[in-house]
Structure 1
Amino acid sequence: MIDLIAAGEVIERPAAAIKELVENALDSGATRITVALTEGGIGRIEIVDNGCGMTPEDLVLAVERHCTSKLSDDTLVRIRTLGFRGEALPSIGASAKLALTSRVAEADSAWRLRVEAGVVTPPAPSSGPKGTRAVVEDLFFATPARRKFLKSPRVEAGHAEAVIRRLALAAPHCAFRLTLDERLALDLPAQSPRDRAQAILGETDSLIPVEETRGEMRLTGYVAGPAATRPTTAAQFLLVNGRPVIDPLLRTALRVAYRPVIDPGRQPVLALHLSLPMERVDVNVHPAKTELRFADENEVKGFVIGAVQRALGQGAGGASVSARLRGGGAQIRYPAPDRPSPPAPPAPRPAGQAAGFAEMHRSFAPSARQIAPPEADTPHPLGAPVAQVLDTYVIAVAPDGDLVLVDQHAAHERLTHERLLAQHQAGQIRAQRLLLPEVVDLPSGQAEALLARAAELAALGLELESFGGGAVLLRTLPALLAGGDAQGLIRDLADELADEPALAASETGALERRIDAVIARMACHGSIRAGRRLNAEEMSALLREMERTPRAATCSHGRPTWLKLSRTELERLFGRTR
């Protein structure tokens, strides 16, 4: 069993020690955990919990390697605890000064055990409440070579806080308090999952709920809309069966899901929990237990992509966007939709690209002749239009009395984009044969990655064949990309497929970005412009189409198409409230 679970775990920085100690606290049933750090954890780490505690005999075993593995069987399948290898405490005790004080509920007193550079001092009676208090001092004093590689206390504190936030998200039932050099950095009561997600992500009232089931898999949690992005993945919190993970497969799925709605290089904000049968995921593949191996990677990836895209794909009526004014700036938020809006059915693809563009434009251009007035009792989340300002912005009043502002060009650009995209997809990506096939020289590994997906690429309008060595011959391109940079497209595709073997050809960004960019340009030029005066029926038609169209909360460039000002926000603007 030791051979199976041993990872040779090494505590490489304070955050790693903190992670292991807090996981132990959660495994003990704690509902309140306090973490206090000095010098980012380099000088001192103190973690106090109100869990079940340990007896003197437990304390002695706790600092012996593999004696606290918590495994209930020898299959390594049904691992229900965050920790299971029993390597962390011995590793900490070997390189630092460790003191454990613990008391079980029925004991008359607590007991304290010390370990210094691997030397154990037996337990002795001590004062202390039920639960466990772990104190780590002078981390790596016994291994000075490792201590040299630590960063500044500020950087180490940042890593430690990130760890605490991930674990706090995994356990909303537990209160967390974190102090850094006696400065309060985090103070979370026991909360509902939504309140905890809002507190951790910092997106108050701005989260779209995700709740989807396929077979025995379930994905729950919250994602922020495309207007709330970050330059890094620091605001992405992922749980699998209650365990915080930083898994490359799931990160890939999220990139694919968000790719159509955010700019390249930006990262989404989210907190998601994937649940699946324990026998379908292996958690014993990484020393830090943050990466997993799934029995069916494609099934998991497809499920996550679909669930997130459906959450993001609501019409404008299903995702409220509010401009909250703070310090003069507007913060966009996307609260939970009341009900999903059915997508508008795609129109049949006409013969010829120019004809299709013209037909699409006629279909989406609002006009009194094409729109019927809505029924009086039909709910319309974007409300009724009342005016147009600067011949650019439509003002409407929502059913709840809130004020709605719509950028007519941005909104119609998204409607046009979605119609063009539907027509393009309905035509199964028409390919155009090149007059002179292009030869693209690639490293052999990249060429092999491309040719291995030749059938998939052909369905996307790219016909490739081997041309000897690392060269490939390109015979066709998607019609929309005719005349574009074919060499650049193939090189980008090869890079992505070689770098992420789990990607299907249809999930790569290189082809999608180029097609989407062309469609976005067509949509922009074919949409009603700022400065065009609309009548009441035209404004109403625009609002109703936004409510039916997926992703209508943002334009093709990621800008918001509409904002909402609540009564509270209007009163704050006029100084009626503070």
Structure 2
Amino acid sequence: MPVIRPLPPELINQIAAGEVIERPSSVVKELVENSLDAGATRVEVDIEQGGARLIRVRDDGCGIAPDELQLAVASHATSKIGSFDDLEHVASMGFRGEALASVSSVARFALTSRAQGQDAAFRIEVDGGRMQAARPAQHPPGSSVEVRDLFYNVPARRKFLRAERTEFAHIDDLLKSLALARSSVEFRLNHNGKPVRILRAARDQHAALLRVAEVLGEDFPAQSLRIDHAAAGLHLSGWVGLPTASRSQADSQFFYVNGRLVRDRVVAHAVRQAYADVLFHGRYPCFVLYLELDPVGVDVNVHPAKHEVRFREQRLVHDFLFRTLHEALAQTRAGHMGGAPDVDAQAQAMPAFRMNPAPAAATAAPAWPNAFSQSRLSLGVREEPLAGYAALAGEARPLPAALSFAAPMPMPDAADDEAPPLGFAIAQLKGVYILAENTHGLVLVDMHAAHERITYEKLKAGRASSNLRSQMMLVPLNVSVSAKEAAAAEEHADALAEWGLELSRSGPSGVVVRRIPALLEGADVAQLCRDVLGELAQHGSSRRLQELENELLATMACHGSVRAGRRLTTPEMNALLREMEATERSGQCNHGRPTWTQLSMAELDKLFLRGR
């Protein structure tokens, strides 16, 4: 048996580098975060050969005093924390004091810095862990760190570096995520001597939104909702994309906790549940969200690269995120959240979402003077009998094979703030689409998808307002679960009973099912229990029962909605438009597909080359 002995400092740093320094982008992350902690307002990153040959980060931060330069490269030496109390209130990006020591142990390293108020700069160099004495140098106030020949002394690690283009893409993505975290800082990125990205400092919300557009695409601001909500010591702000702006992969999701980009299962679960009713299967929402809370409520010291955090009040954070985003997305009624034409208009006109109790009138369609009512599609809606429309209220008109015109008259004159957002029906196309005219131009509506959403929301509302019925199992069912899940069944028995699911613990890793919700008759009870208890054990709450019931209600809504090919009368089409305007989430059907789209006059003129 070999004798126990302490490891050499160089080997200790290389082991630490194996945890912290995965690839060139890891080096950039550590160095740029140091610059941000130093109060920099401008950060410039120079890369050569994807970072394998050179990584240089320059900033205009506070700098480092000459007598502290060598200490800055030592292991576990930092100015950011000094006591256990500081560790519980970490407000800086870095805090372990490992970054520079780890990087300098696997590369040729140089640090040049001039502290604010000092007349001269000093420079130290470290080659594979061997440090040289500090010497005077020329440098403006701030710091520069040069990392050359990364992993030159660890060939096994260098072999795992990818192609130059791949490694630089990781660096570019990283810098964009850091730029979203600190919109007040200017970032510049150069590769092989050529400028690649310049992100100007944002001084206000409009400029911050421009930066978001640079990172997520110029269409994102017009297809997003502004979030700004605070409760229970938590504050959530930022932007969430509309369901119609989803992507096939989760590459446009940025979530920051106290300014730190994190990947967290609690956050991912809450966001996924918030979009459950409006997102197409296999699609991922886009968002840039900032969660602020007391540093005591979050532990950032759970991952070597600081990618993950742990919330002390995990359930509180989960429920806060879900309710805020769920309520925001519920306000996406058709005609009300069509998106602004450009970033300027969105930044100036779109108000931030704040979760307030909705007035009772918000759930009903607007009442128009001298109204008539119709209910042939179970749409109890009252609408204005415009000239020519009232005569059609009970009249069945002959319909051509493909296109049926609802009214042979132009849209009545009305002020923009008085006309309904989706306008008035003018035609029906092939029994599938409703064509309507509003103040902006032409509106196209998928009548089945729209009616399906309306019916679904009504079924959910009716289900929520009635008592949940449960039915007794003929023979109690024993289900094997993990010990953690069995404990969750015991802890949350009352909450499960409210949903009609009666469970009792039968042993260290087993439960007995005696009642299930009547609506879920025929479901796989054992799998249902495992899903529910698994979520309860992990997140402290579960919506699996509600999701299953909603799936059944969605199926009922689909079969109970107007089918493609049915000819609608003018009142029916207009009633459908009015109900869409008053129904939550009516911009998408139950499967996440859009229910309507707008073609403005400018877009129509462009199609026909008018004005050219």
Could you tell me the TM-score, scaled by structure 2's length?
0.79
The 1-side partners of 2:67 and 2:171 are apart by 31
Looking at structure 1, the residues matched to 232 and 266 of structure 2 have their Cα atoms a distance apart, in angstroms, of 20
Give 1:156's aligned residue.
167
- 1:196 paired residue among 211, 214, 222: 211
How much does 1:155 deviate? 4.0
Task: State the shift of 1:184 in Å.
Answer: 5.3
Are residue 518 (structure 1) and residue 552 (structure 2) matched? yes
Q: Which AA in structure 1 matches 2:214? A: A
CA contact (8 A) 2:111 2:124 kept: yes
- CA gap 1:339/1:240 in 2 versus in 1, 3 angstroms: closer
Deviation at 1:140, TM superposition (A): 2.0
> CA 1:55 to 1:443, structure 2 compared with 1: closer, same or farther past 3 Å?
closer
> 1:404 & 1:199 partners in 2: Cα distance?
30
Distance change in 2, residues 1:466/1:296 (3 Å):
closer
Structure 1: how far apart are the matches of 2:277 and 2:82?
45
Aligned to 2:72: 62
Which residue of structure 1 lines up, in the alignment, with residue 432 of structure 2?
A: 392
SS of 2:463 mapped into structure 1:
helix
| Alpha-carbon spacing, 1:181–1:428, altered in 2? closer, same or farther (3 Å) | farther
> 1:143 aligned to 2:177?
no
The Cα shift of 1:339 comes to: 8.3
Query: Is the alpha carbon distance of 1:278 and 1:573 closer, same or farther for their aligned partners in structure 2, counting shifts above 3 Å?
Result: same
Check if 1:248 corresponds to 2:248.
no
Match of 1:493 among 497, 507, 532: 532
Q: 2:473 aligns with which of 431, 434, 441?
A: 434
TM-score for the superposition, normalised by structure 1: 0.84
Q: How does 1:411-560 map to 2 (within 5 A)?
A: 411-467=450-506, 470-498=509-537, 501-505=538-542, 507-508=543-544, 511-560=545-594
- For residues 166 and 487 of structure 2, the distance between their equivalents in structure 1, rounded to whole angstroms, comes to 42
Structure 1 position 453, deviation (Å): 3.0
**How much does 1:221 deviate?**
0.3
Give the direction of change, closer, same or farther, for the CA distance of 1:156–1:460 in structure 2 (3 Å limit): farther
CA contact (8 A) 1:211 1:218 kept: yes
**Change beyond 3 A, Cα 1:482–1:34:** same
- Measured after TM superposition, the shift of residue 106 of structure 1 is 4.5
Q: Is contact 2:227-2:353 (8 Å) kept?
A: no
Structure 2: how far apart are the matches of 1:367 and 1:258? Answer: 28
C-alpha contact 1:98 1:135 (8 A) present in aligned 2: yes
Query: Residues 209 and 445 (structure 1 numbering): CA distance in 2 closer, same or farther, change over 3 Å?
Result: same
- Deviation of 1:169 (Å): 0.5
CA contact (8 A) 1:366 1:539 kept: no
Q: Give the structure 2 partner of residue 380 of structure 1.
A: 420
The equivalent position to 1:48 in structure 2, one of 52, 55, 58, is 58
Question: Could you tell me how far 1:275 is from its partner in structure 2?
Answer: 1.4
Q: Give the corresponding residue for 2:96.
A: 85
Distance 1:136 1:570, change over 3 A: farther
- Distance (whole Å) between structure 2 residues aligned to residue 290 and residue 166 of structure 1: 12
- 2:300 maps to 283
Contact 2:362 2:582 in 1 (8 A): no
* Residues 1:19 and 1:489: Cα distance change in structure 2 (over 3 Å): same
Return the letter of the residue paired with 1:389. L
1:326-365 equivalences in 2 (<5 Å):
336=350, 365=378
SS at match of 1:316: coil
- Residue in structure 1 matching 2:334, options 291, 294, 316: 316
**Deviations 1:253-277 (CA, angstroms, capped at 9, x unpaired):** 2122222222454332111111122
| Deviation by residue 1:224-281 (Cα, 9 ceiling, x = unmatched) | 1122333443321111222222223222221222222224543321111111223333
CA contact (8 A) 2:423 2:437 kept: yes
Residues 41, 487 of structure 1: CA spacing in aligned structure 2 closer, same or farther, 3 A cutoff? same
SS at the partner of 1:161?
helix
Larger deviation: 195-204 or 546-555? 195-204
5+ residue gaps, structure 2? 1-12, 343-348, 365-373, 387-413
Q: One-letter code of the match for 2:99? A: A
> Contact 1:343 / 1:549 at 8 angstroms: preserved in 2?
no
How far off is 1:468 after superposition?
5.2
Partner-residue secondary structure (3-state), 1:416: helix
SS at match of 1:287: coil
3-state DSSP class of the match of 2:80? coil
Three-state SS of the structure 1 residue aligned to 2:27 is helix
Aligned mate of 2:81, from 71, 80, 85: 71
Question: Is the CA contact 1:409–1:527 (under 8 Å) kept in the aligned structure 2?
Answer: yes
Give the secondary-structure state (helix, strand or coil) at the position aligned to 2:244.
Answer: coil
Take 2:352 and 2:266, find their aligned partners in 1: how far apart are those partners?
31
* 1:491-533 Cα deviation digits (max 9, x unpaired): 43344445xx22413x34xx34422221111111111222223
Cα distance change, pair 220–421 in 1 and its aligned pair in 2 (3 A): same
- Contact 2:38–2:62 (CA under 8 A) maintained in structure 1: yes
Match of 1:225 in 2: 242
Counterpart-to-counterpart distance in 1, 2:288 and 2:595? 25
- Paired residue for 1:207? 224
Letter in 2 for 1:517: E
| Alignment correspondent of 1:293 | 310
What's the secondary structure of 1:37's corresponding residue? strand
Show the counterpart of 2:403: none
SS of residue paired to 1:176: strand
Q: Which residue of 2 aligns with 1:102?
A: 113
Contact kept? 1:197, 1:222, Cα under 8 Å = no
How far apart are the structure 1 equivalents of 2:481 and 2:555? 31
Q: Distance in 2 between matches of 1:37 and 1:17?
A: 11
Cα pair 2:441 2:600 within 8 Å, conserved: yes
Q: Distance in 1 between matches of 2:194 and 2:478?
A: 62
1:443-489 per-residue CA deviation (whole Å, 9 max, x = no partner) reads: 55544444443332222222223455744333332222212333332
Q: Which amino acid aligns with 2:513?
A: L
SS for the counterpart of 1:474 is: strand
Could you tell me how far apart the structure 1 residues matched to 2:100 and 2:188 are? 22
> Distance in 1 between the 2:376 and 2:35 partners?
60
Amino acid in the other structure paired with 2:583 = T
Farther-moved stretch of structure 1 (436-445 vs 250-259)? 436-445
- Structure 1 counterpart of 2:323: 306
Residue identity opposite 2:539 in structure 1? A
Change (3 A) 1:72 1:543: farther
Letter in 1 for 2:566: R
What is the count of residue pairs matched by the alignment?
543
For 2:82 and 2:482, locate their aligned partners in 1 and report how far apart those are by CA, in whole Å: 49
- Over 3 Å counting, the alpha-carbon distance change for 1:182 and 1:564 in structure 2 is farther
Other-structure match for 1:169:
180
Is the contact between residue 222 and residue 340 of structure 2 (CA under 8 Å) also seen in structure 1?
A: no
- The one-letter code matched in structure 2 to 1:239 is Y
Deviation at 1:558, TM superposition (A): 0.6
The residue that corresponds to 1:128 in the other structure is: 139
Q: 1:87/1:518 Cα in 2 relative to 1: closer, same or farther (>3 Å)? A: same
Residue aligned with 1:560, SS: coil
**Unmatched runs of 5 consecutive residues or more in structure 1:** 1-5, 325-334, 348-360
Greater CA drift, 370-379 or 170-179: 370-379
- CA RMSD in angstroms, aligned pairs only: 3.3
- Larger Cα Rg: Structure 1 or Structure 2? 2
Change (3 A) 1:184 1:59: same
2:34 to 16, 19, 24: 24
Name the SS for the 2:448 alignment partner: helix
In 1, the alpha carbon distance for the partners of 2:159 and 2:488 equals 42
Give the secondary-structure state (helix, strand or coil) at the position aligned to 2:270: helix
In structure 2, how many angstroms separate the alpha carbons of the residues matched to 1:276 and 1:496? Answer: 24
For residues 561 and 385 of structure 2, what CA distance do their matches in structure 1 show?
A: 22
Range moving further from structure 2, 268-277 or 230-239: 230-239
